[in-house]
Amino acid sequence: MQVVLRPPGGAEALELSVGDDGRWREPAGGDTELGSGWWALPGLVDSHSHLAADELELRPGEPGRIRERAFACLEGGVFLVMDKGWCDGSVVATLTDAPPSAAPEFEGAARIVAVEGGYYPGFAVETDPDGLTEVVRRAASEGAGWVKLVGDWPRKGRGALPNFDFEQLRTAVEVAHSAGARVAVHTMAPDVASWAVAAGVDSIEHGLFLTAGDLEVMAARGAAWVPTVLRCEALIEALGPDSSGGRLLAAGLDNVASLLSDLPDGVRVLAGTDLAVPSPEVGREVTALVRLGLDPQRAVDAASASAYSFTQREAAFAPGAPADAVFFDRDPYEDPTALERPVAVLRRGVRLR
């Protein structure tokens, strides 16, 4: 198969062949079969997925359904997912070492870590300061490269409160890093986001109350921010915009918009669905990021190049690289909504769409 690959942003198009091993090869001649007149990316990425469920269902994942969701990702052009944990290790057990014809590349957390009263009852591993080191060490061993902490959570009548202080977060990071795992922290309330950044956390999930100074620190060490705009907007709608929680989240989203519209160079923003929409629809999160002020090119990269770079994965249109491509009928850098509707998907040289 001969394929024309036209990267977004005016880069020169190139033509490659697909080898029997599912990797790109130098053009072998013959008529072009795919890609003429389209723009292409090496793949889309969901950096905050939960493939154990279709929505917030507080029950263990089912391997068969996880495999179905994983293949749906491929059909939608999502070739890499970072799963940010669940009430069990079903996603890790199901997708680790899954073949590229059946599932995206994968890394993620197993069971989420919180404290008593600091998450949905019975869903997370609950710890206290004395048990934190062992719980994080076990979470690192059970996950696929990640530990997920719930940094803050609302308490009835008391508002959103921290689950961990700065020293506890720093301890969790040190333990996870020593075990070869990264740390992601859920935070939607004030204070904890800045503590997590200072503690060395690798990925801030939501991060509604990050500061410009936090982003500078994150850029310097290559940390990621996954704002999950659609999830936050869905929570505001569910809570009610006039509720105390709704008002807090709305203020946080206003802060996110301010940060996104004046983002320092080097800050790695990534796109994540977080069950607000299915992972194959991560393009809708890209559109939301643009709506809140993120530069269109950086928003597209948030669901592609930036995430591949963050995970140090190969994603290129070059001989020897995997023959992966997602095609669009217009330049995504000029119109990021193109990511919501891929026109063709090529996975390891096999057309899925």
Question: Which domains does the chain show, CATH number per domain?
Answer: 1-42+316-353 (2.30.40.10), 43-314 (3.20.20.140)
Q: What mean pLDDT value characterizes the chain?
A: 96
Biggest CA–CA distance in the chain, Å, is: 70
Span 83-96, mean pLDDT?
97
Q: Answer for the pair 164, 191: CB distance below 8 angstroms, yes or no.
A: no
Q: How confident is the model at residue 58 (pLDDT cuts 50, 70, 90)?
A: confident
- Considering Cα of 217, then 220, then 221, then 222, what sign does the dihedral take? positive
Contacts of 294 (CB under 8 A, 6+ apart): 260, 261, 263, 269, 302
Spatial separation of the C-alpha atoms in residues 3 and 350, rounded to whole Å: 12
What would the pLDDT profile of 114-150 be if each residue is shown by its tens digit? 999 999 999 999 999 999 999 999 999 999 999 999 9
| C-alpha distance from residue 203 to each of 53, 56, 219, 222 (Å) | 22, 21, 11, 9
What would the pLDDT profile of 142-197 be if each residue is shown by its tens digit? 999 999 999 999 998 888 999 999 999 999 999 999 999 999 999 999 999 999 99
Pairing between β-strand 39-41 and β-strand 159-162 as defined by DSSP bridges: unpaired
Contacts of 178 (CB under 8 A, 6+ apart): none
What would the pLDDT profile of 25-54 be if each residue is shown by its tens digit? 999 877 778 999 999 999 999 999 999 999
Q: Answer for the pair 2, 28: CB distance below 8 angstroms, yes or no.
A: yes
Spatial separation of the C-alpha atoms in residues 137 and 122, rounded to whole Å: 20
Spatial separation of the C-alpha atoms in residues 108 and 64, rounded to whole Å: 18
Closest by alpha carbon to 302, among 286, 290, 314, 288? Answer: 286
How many Cβ atoms are within 10 Å of 285's Cβ, its own excluded?
A: 31
Residue 12 has what DSSP assignment? P
Question: Which of helix, strand or coil describes residue 173?
Answer: helix
Which tokens is 311 given? 């995970």
Q: Answer for the pair 144, 106: CB distance below 8 angstroms, yes or no.
A: yes
Query: In b/e form, how buried is each residue of 105-134, taking b as 16+ CB within 10 angstroms?
Result: bbbbbbbbbbbeebbeeebbbbbeeeebee
Tell me the one-letter amino acid at 138.
Answer: R
Strand partners, 2: 17
Alpha helices in 96-227 (DSSP H): 132-142, 166-178, 192-199, 212-221
How many CA atoms within 13 Å lie on the side-chain side of 295? Answer: 10
Q: How confident is the model at residue 10 (pLDDT cuts 50, 70, 90)?
A: confident
Polymer length in residues for the chain: 353
How many CA atoms within 13 Å lie on the side-chain side of 78? Answer: 31
Residue 18 has what DSSP assignment? E
What would the pLDDT profile of 187-224 be if each residue is shown by its tens digit? 999 999 999 999 999 999 999 999 999 999 999 999 99
Closest by alpha carbon to 313, among 81, 83, 85, 91? Answer: 81
